[in-house]
Structures are given as structure tokens and as C-alpha cells.
Amino acid sequence: MIDMLPLLDWTSFVYFALPTVILLAASATLAIMSKRYWAIAVGVAAVLVLAVFIGGMWHSLERPPMRTMGETRLWYSLFVIIAGLIVFIRWRYGWILSFSGILSTVFMAINVFKPEIHNKTMMPALESPFFVPHVISYIFAYSLLAAAVLVGIYIIYKKRKTHDFDPSGLLYTSDNLVYTGLAFLMTGLLLGAVWAKQAWGTYWGWDPKETWAAITLLSYLLYIHHRLYAPRRFEVSFALLILSFLFLQIAGTESIIYRQHKARVSILMECKKTTLIVPVTL
């Protein structure tokens, strides 16, 4: 299948990125106009355009394009669109296509306007097939869980301002956002565990990043159980939701700090392995 694709490189990326962005904008507009099937069809067309470029790069490089920062962002752009389409097809949230389209456009724009990252090779531990889906799962989980918090804050605000406000529809939206976001969070965690086993020899090491990820996951599970067993006490539920989101921010911060530390350690280890001992003769 890949052999049938044209040979492509970064010089032709803009000719695929621009049509993809136009199709994403059209898909988001159609979703807002409640033209569901047309929105899905145009969104799928955007996926296909970007997939053709990735396939062409794969054919040209004779390897999966997952080695450099620029190549990795290609996969970010693709999977964010696919994740947005899945959520839209399942729950018909028109705004999600706008959100995923903007995220994808940002990743593509970085590749267009920062060509120096195209050949910036990643550290060996990151050159894994689990890296891209792991990061994409977390990105989309953070996005959906952030949207759920915003919906919750809006419900509390409206309820206190208008006593006869019926939050049932928005509660349903918030719950679905949490369910979907938690599914992506769990997927990212599992992919990260498999990746860690492949790269460092252990599924779980109880480092700060992993510990806070586990706390965040349990906190969102507590929110879900409270919503199921005390559905009318939504203010307590949304207090739990906000607390869980704060845990998510700590988990993200710990992840960045820990990755930087681990990257430095890995680089030092690689340097030690490749150091040449030159005999000195007098």
C-alpha cells in the first residue's frame, strides 16, 4: 500500500497542510450548522489528505516518520483530528471539531514555520511506536477534562445566579466529557507503562510522574462514583472535579520536570557508552 504512494519530503508539506486546514475549518463549520454527516465526511477527507503526506514521507524515508520532532508532530496532527471525529460521532458535540481542528492546525503550523525541527533527532528512548499515541492520548485527555471543568464552573455560576436553572443537559455533557477524557487518560497511562517497559525495563517505577498520574486517575474515578451514587449533590461533584483537575496540573508539571531529568540522565549514559579511551604513549 505504501509503495503506491508518491515520494514526498518537507518541501511539499505546505501543499498538504493548507488543504487540511481548510477542510478542518469547513468540517467545524458544518458541525456548528448541525450538518452532521457532511461534517464527518469533510473531516475524514482532512484525515486522508494528511495521511497521504505521512504515507509519502514513509515511502520516501523507507522508515516510519517517527524519529524527529517534526515527524512526531505530523502524527500529533493526524491523531488529534481522528480523536475529535470519534468524540463527535459518538456524542455529537459540534464544538469538539473546532477544538481538535485548532490543535491540529497549531502542530502543522509549527512544522511549517519552524523547519529547523524537521531534522532534530529525538533521544533514543523516545524513538518508540508507543511515543506518539501515548502523548496524543494525554493531550486529548487534558483537553476534554479541562472542558469538563469549564462546564462545571458554568453550571455552578448559573445555578447560583438563577435558582430555577435546570442543569441536567449540561450535567450530561460534563459527565460524558469526563468519561471520554478518563478513557484517553487511562489509555495514555497504559501505553506509557508498556513504553517504559520497552525503554527502561519496568512497567511502573513509582517516580513522581507516575505517582501523580495514579492519584489523578483515582480522583476522577471518585468523581464518577459520587455522580452515580449522589447525582443531586452536583456542587460536591464539581468540587471533586476541580480538585481532580488541579491534580492533573500537578501530574503534568511533574511529568515535564521528570522527563527533563530523565533525558539528561539518558544523554549522560549515552555519552559514557560512546567515550573513547585513547592510550597515551610517552
Q: Please report the pLDDT score of residue 226 as a whole number.
A: 92
Average pLDDT, the chain: 82
Q: Is the per-residue pLDDT at 89 higher than 60?
A: yes
Q: Please report the pLDDT score of residue 231 as a whole number.
A: 85
Q: Please report the pLDDT score of residue 17 as a whole number.
A: 96
Percentage of the chain beyond pLDDT 70 is 84
Confidence of residue 120 (pLDDT cuts 50, 70, 90): low
Mean pLDDT within 51-57:
93
Confidence of residue 263 (pLDDT cuts 50, 70, 90): very low
Vertex 232, ends 229 and 238: CA angle to 5°? 85
Q: Which of 78, 97, 91, 80 is nearest to 40 (CA)?
A: 97
Instruction: Give pTM, 2 decimals.
Output: 0.70
Q: Please report the pLDDT score of residue 65 as a whole number.
A: 83
Q: Please report the pLDDT score of residue 256 as a whole number.
A: 47
Q: How do residues 78-87 score in pLDDT, each as one tens digit?
A: 988 998 898 8
Cell 530523565 sits on residue: 262
Q: Is the per-residue pLDDT at 66 higher than 80?
A: no
Q: Please report the pLDDT score of residue 34 as a whole number.
A: 93
Q: Is the per-residue pLDDT at 110 higher than 80?
A: yes
Q: How do residues 184-204 score in pLDDT, each as one tens digit?
A: 999 999 998 898 888 888 888
- Tell me if 66 sits within 8 A of 126, measured CB to CB: no
Q: Is the per-residue pLDDT at 276 higher than 50?
A: no
